[in-house]
Amino acid sequence: MTAVAAPPAATGRVRRPEVAGVVQPRLPRAPRRLAALGVAIAVLFAAPMGFLVVRTAGLGGDTVLETLTDDALTPLLWSLGLGAAVALSAAAIGVGLAWCTTRTDLPGRRAAAVLGPLPLVVPSYVGAAALVAGFAPGGLVADLVSPLGITPPEIGGFWGAWFVLSAFSYPYVYLPVAARLAELPPSLEESARLLGRGPRQVFTSVVLPQARTAVAAGTLLVFLYTISDFGAVSIMGAPTLTNEIFQAKLVPELWLPLASLLGAVALVVVAAERALARRRVAVSGVQVRRAMQVPLGRWRWPVALVVWGWFGAALAAPVLVLVLWVVRGVLGAGSPSATVLAPGGLLAPAASTVGVSVAAALATMALVLPVAYLTVRYRSRAGGTANTVVVGAFALPGLVVALALVFWTLKADALAWLYQTIPLLVFAYTVHFGAQGLRAAQVAVGSVPTRFDDAGAVLGASRSRRLRTIDLPLMARGLGAGLGLVLLSAMKELPATLLLAPPGFETLATRIWAASDSHQLAQLGVASLVLLALSGPLTWVLVIRPGRRR
């Protein structure tokens, strides 16, 4: 993150009043109704934390204290260390890739823009298993390159988990940053160039400071995602808090206090990040028809090599392993796996996956938008609390979110009818992934100039009309990024889907799990490839195209 704290003065030097990055002296107080809405939303998102508090308190203080003193320290350090390491590298990859696809003449940048977010849809355990199968001694890739005298590095432990999680979570940074860069007026960068700054200086003194909120938003998400992950850390053997929680599932005296600790860590980190973030109002994005392009010159092909090499390692290598599994399964026809290779078996799960994920993405954005306004436009304690609760919930594993919703739904007669219905599943996704939508929405709200809204108000337009005709169109890119993040995350979600969906409801993620459970790698490969193939067009339609059309 240090790289982001570049001198912000650069924007001040550009003499154009509407882009002056001034520190607003004091934000106005929040309207009462909006604050109340924020509190109500915070209560909804507090469901998982509340569940942990109730269940952990039920264990008694002595038990909790014993677990926390005896069993918590090492896993806690692992979680913090891994979370920080992954956050740093994902930030670097995300920012670099976003800059390359939005600002340069990188060969194949359009394709890169579509491929960029896709690793997010690969379930971490599938990605980790594919990487292990590929690179481990005797693995597929190792066999391929061993005649050349190359021994690929063994993947495992801290660095194995770090690599897998970085490779599959950088889109949390990439999507919001790319959305932000795409809407930055090129005038700033052009002015800086005219004033004699080189491309590198322009990047550090103009681009980075303007993308800072987006980078911070994504980096925090990566940290929280990392400490919540079970799939990659279990396969790589990283004893983080979440790994310990899952291992002790049937021992409530162990897992409940550890899960509460995980939640507490998340709340502290989120609150601290908010306190540290200087509330500088960023440059407003106005209708940008064309972004500035930096010719890479002699660096064009080396950069292309790095970018496409990265896609090769993070996306193509696991996909190649998946394809090999499928091919092996098809060639070994006659085995039961061949029967399920018939694509018809995946139609219903694919349709279900798209249906619930799109619903979850839309519901999430609608629910977090008021909180985004509350936190960005106003001074409000309710906003701060809602931000902490919504974002913090992302650090809890999906299993905890699912159990929490079982707990709360069945506690109240009035809610019991919701149990194991699609709306509850969509709500579970919303609670679990609300953080992604909120962080993206905050970036979006922050980049809309309030003066348009003021002008609309003076002209007598109602609040909802102003939102519809002024803010929403201007925020399309930023909100699209949030939509995309939630969508891709929901598409791969497993534990809540298994536990909260109506009986018999199958998604591609549950098909992948079932295939992995019965070690039918060919089916696992097919379902994973279908999941990837679906996410590409969906990302294009929902995230990238709306931004382009404007």
Partner 1 sequence: MLGAAGVVLVLCTAVLAACSSGDDNKVVVYSGRSTDLIKPVLDRFAAETGISVDFKQGDSADLALTIEQEGERSPADVFISQSPGATAYLDDKGLLRPLPQSTLDRVAAEDRAGDGNWVGLSGRVRVLVYNTDLVSPDDLPATVEELTGAAYQGKVGMAPTNGSFQDFVSAMRISEGDDATTAWLEGMAANDVKTYANNNAVVDAVIRGEVPMGLANHYYLLRALEDDPDAPAANHVFADDVGSVEIVSTASVLAGAQHTPQAERLVDFLLSDETQRYFADETFEYPVVAGVPPAATVPELAAEQVLRVDFDELGSEFASTVTMIRDAGLTR
| Cβ atoms of residues 480 and 113 within 8 Å | no
Q: Which stretch binds partner 1 (CB under 8 A): 12-20, 161-169, 193-201, 349-357?
A: 349-357
> At residue 282, what is the residue type?
A
Q: Which of 515, 530, 534, 543 binds partner 1 (CB under 8 A)?
A: 515
Which residue stretches of 378-421 are H helix? 381-392, 398-411
C-alpha span between 72 and 78 (Å, rounded): 10
| Cβ atoms of residues 526 and 428 within 8 Å | no
Query: Which CB sits closer to partner 1, 93 or 365?
Result: 365
Query: Which CB sits closer to partner 1, 12 or 137?
Result: 137
Residue-wise DSSP of 240-280: -HHHHHHHTTT-HHHHHHHHHHHHHHHHHHHHHHHHHS--P
Tokens found for residue 485: 């993040």
Q: Which of 89, 228, 242, 337 binds partner 1 (CB under 8 A)?
A: 337
Query: Which CB sits closer to partner 1, 115 or 155?
Result: 155
159 binds partner 1 (CB under 8 A): no
- Interface characters, 29-48, with partner 1 (x: CB under 8 A): --------------------
403 binds partner 1 (CB under 8 A): yes
E strand or H helix that includes residue 30: none
C-alpha span between 285 and 185 (Å, rounded): 6
Smallest separation (angstroms) from partner 1 to the CB of 498: 4
295 binds partner 1 (CB under 8 A): no
C-alpha span between 544 and 477 (Å, rounded): 8
Query: Which CB sits closer to partner 1, 227 or 356?
Result: 356
C-alpha span between 398 and 224 (Å, rounded): 13
C-alpha span between 78 and 234 (Å, rounded): 13
Smallest separation (angstroms) from partner 1 to the CB of 205: 36
Q: Which of 13, 249, 451, 545 binds partner 1 (CB under 8 A)?
A: 249
Q: Which of 362, 461, 467, 529 binds partner 1 (CB under 8 A)?
A: 362
Residue-wise DSSP of 107-176: TTHHHHHHHTTGGGGS-HHHHHHHHHHHHSTTSHHHHHHGGGT--PPPP-HHHHHHHHHHHHHTHHHHHH
Query: Which CB sits closer to partner 1, 99 or 513?
Result: 513
What is the CB-side half-sphere exposure of residue 372 using CA atoms within 13 A? Answer: 28
Smallest separation (angstroms) from partner 1 to the CB of 454: 26
Smallest separation (angstroms) from partner 1 to the CB of 378: 26
Q: Which of 302, 473, 502, 537 binds partner 1 (CB under 8 A)?
A: 502
Tokens found for residue 272: 């601290």
Query: Which CB sits closer to partner 1, 272 or 416?
Result: 416
Q: Which stretch binds partner 1 (CB under 8 A): 82-90, 177-185, 244-252, 288-296?
A: 244-252
- Interface characters, 212-241, with partner 1 (x: CB under 8 A): ----------------------xx-x-x--
Residue-wise DSSP of 367-384: HHHHHHHHHHHSB-HHHH
3-class DSSP assignment, residue 335: strand
Query: Which CB sits closer to partner 1, 352 or 528?
Result: 352
- Interface characters, 110-149, with partner 1 (x: CB under 8 A): -------------------x--xx--xxxx----------
- The number of beta carbons lying within 10 Å of the beta carbon of residue 157 is 12
Query: Which CB sits closer to partner 1, 336 or 343?
Result: 336
3-class DSSP assignment, residue 49: helix
Picking from 7, 29, 40, the residue whose alpha carbon sits closest to that of residue 371 is 40
469 binds partner 1 (CB under 8 A): no
| Cβ atoms of residues 19 and 185 within 8 Å | yes
Query: Which CB sits closer to partner 1, 7 or 423?
Result: 423
Q: Which stretch binds partner 1 (CB under 8 A): 85-93, 145-153, 309-317, 422-430?
A: 422-430
Binding residues for partner 1, rule CB under 8 A, total 68
419 binds partner 1 (CB under 8 A): yes
| Cβ atoms of residues 403 and 51 within 8 Å | yes
Handedness of CA 351, 169, 260, 46 (dihedral sign): negative
| Cβ atoms of residues 418 and 78 within 8 Å | no
Q: Applying CB under 8 A, which residues contact partner 1? A: 71, 129, 132-133, 136-139, 234-235, 237, 239, 243-244, 246-251, 254, 325, 328-329, 332, 335-337, 340, 352, 355-356, 358-359, 362, 399, 402-403, 406-407, 410, 416, 419-423, 426, 495, 498-499, 502-506, 510, 513-523
